[in-house]
Structure 1
Amino acid sequence: MHTPLRSIALALAVGLVAGCASQVTAPVRDGSGVSAAPVTQAAAPAGMHTVRPGETLLGIARQYGVTLPDLVSWNAITDPNQIHVGQTLLVAPPGTVPGSVAVATPIGGTAVTSPVPPTGTETGVVPLMQEPLGGRAPAVEPTPTVPAPSAVEPAPSAASGQWQWPASGTLIAGFNEASNKGVDIGGRVGDPVYAASAGKVVYAGSGLRGYGKLIVIKHNQEYNSVYAHNDKLLVKEDDQVAQGQKIAELGSSEADKPKLHFEIRKQGKAVDPMRYLPAR
């Protein structure tokens, strides 16, 4: 009698250990710093990240090789300093994460994505293809072939005057899609920073860590420009600015030296500003 009972007890113990090993728990702290009950965290799918205790948005951006504005825009984050343990974040560009679609246009008109269910039934959307009562799918006309677009879309002509240099200093760092989403222009603290093109100020502040005092200008439905590390901001949100208008004074806020970090973003994606700025 003892041997069967011992075998059953051993089997139950092995099953419990295997079940616990498939989950990861992380302690959660509330705003008062008091530890709360552990929260079970499942592994996030590719292109997404589940926030763990002690992590910051800037640290997550560096972990995945993306910029802080990327994470803010992709996840429609209103306060970059407030993320929560267990929160799931997109860490890849829109359209590259399976099961995500563009759903909003936050600061600067950048499209953001949000996870969606794998079928339309959860949202009340009827699938496009349904089997009829007879058990045969309706005939589908072949889709006409559309020529693939050019790999590199030509930039607006610099001669048209659509863009101008935002500062007069020397170029000290160029565009690199992996490590530098814009260009860095050197100078002295207090040097003028100009609007590279006419538009509306959609952000002016220092809420994004790593960018210091920052200005974002929306030019149209496609393009935004970004001006970071300023010493003094001379415009506020909702201001309309003209091309060449002084919008800030160059500085070193959250930077190792006085410089202007300048970006041009097309539909939320950073592009090389040197393809848009006139030759010097």
Structure 2
Amino acid sequence: MENGATSQNNKGKDKKTDKTRRGWSEREEDVLIQALKEAVIEGWKSGNGFRAGYLGFLERRMKAAFPETNLRGNPHINSKVHVWKKLYGNLVTMLSKSGVGWNDTEKTIDASNETWESLIMVENNARAMGNKRWIYYNDWCEIFGNDRATGDKTEDIVSAGAAESISISVAPLSKPISAKSKGKKRKQGDDDDDAIVEAINNFADVTKNTMTNLIKQLAAKASYEKMSAAQEKVLDAMESIPELTEDEKVSVTEILVDNHKKLSLFLRYGHGGRLSLARKLLRGG
């Protein structure tokens, strides 16, 4: 099972697999689900996703259950979690539609034929989702919760290759636009003018606050992407240090992703320096 769903019409039939991906057994998926629940309980969940280092936690859980496994945090577990989160988002969207319900016994989406025909016209995923059993849906609710609310939409604002720093300046009005000075006889249209002035000033305040929040979101996104790229480099570097065991590599990686200064230093070293630093970190240095 690859996506946490089974087809009611095609059970047991072989599917073509993407050779760039590793196939998962049902047992492996079950263990990963339980590991993700443990990660949530143990505090790896933060904001709209998981904290840095959680892939190492999951990898250790998988290795404990399958000592000979070749599953790694990147790319295998990371890819699986990403796919599950996307499927969960699609399910939540579908279940929010009028006339659509959830059959918890069969683990399927419940809707009349007429409703499905209507949904297929407006929802790209409807046709593919209707004939499947979503056995992990309740588990995904526990694991991902409200992650989907902002997770994928952020990527629509800033692409994966966004610049490392984004600076947007908003110049508020230096002075609020003032109404006509006191002391002069007010004309009949003055009240309307004052209302327009107040609306303009309010709009300026709202625009300033909105842009400030957007800047914070973009900066956080850029920082996350920069950190993710550094983590990928560390994982690649670990593969080229045969002197370390797999468990040692995982431990060093977790230490580095939680310490930005040591991570930066590690990436600057050559092979010998990286090995020395890794052994020092393993000794608690």
TM-score (norm 1): 0.19
- Between 1 and 2, higher relative CO (CA 8 Å, sep ≥ 6) is seen in 2
Structure with the bigger percentage of strand = 1
Structure that is richer in helix per residue: 2
